Amino acid sequence: MNHLVISCIGPDKTGLVDTLSTIISKHQGNWQVSSLHHLSGFFAGVIEVAVESAHSASLINELKTISGLRCQIEMAEPDLASTAANLVLEITANDRAGIVQELSSVIHHKDGNLIKLVSSTDSAAYTGQNIFKATVEIAINEDSIDALVSALEQIANDLMVDISR
């Protein structure tokens, strides 16, 4: 069994996910994990597909022929051990340039492995100021959690970290 990691980007249009899922199904692929988004008029997605070796090449070839969609496809070994993050943090702060770099740097320097980052910006209810919100999944040694949270909170006075494991 092969595992394909497929990243796709192109102008968003109705039916792209249906097209992707039809092609994957046609080649007997099993849609495993995905993250699909509409971003500024573009469809952007990452999908992991399990497919028998005999069908991999034809699946890859057909995915690359989808009109208007650029697909990058990599063969991977499933990494089941690292997909179970042992820490989930909810982070809120005033939005500013460089905030993701600051967060990722602290996580890296505290020996955490960033598994997943989902972020958004929104307007604060009363002030209208842009607020950055993120849900972060991290694989980290239990003994390092307090030091990591403390270091994250030191980034700025307005940054709040909630552990939601």
Topology of the domain covering 87-163: Alpha-Beta Plaits (3.30.70)
Comparing 2-76 with 87-163, is the CATH topology the same?
Answer: yes
What does each C-alpha distance from 74 to 12, 85, 110, 113 come to in angstroms? Answer: 23, 23, 30, 21
The residue ranges of every structural domain in the chain are 2-76, 87-163
pLDDT at 84: 47
Domain 2-76: homologous superfamily in CATH: ACT domain (3.30.70.260)
At residue 160, the pLDDT reads 94
pLDDT digits (tens, 9 = 90+) for 31-60: 999 999 999 999 999 999 999 999 999 999
Please give the pLDDT value at position 75: 95
Say what percent of the chain tops pLDDT 90: 85
Full-model pTM: 0.77
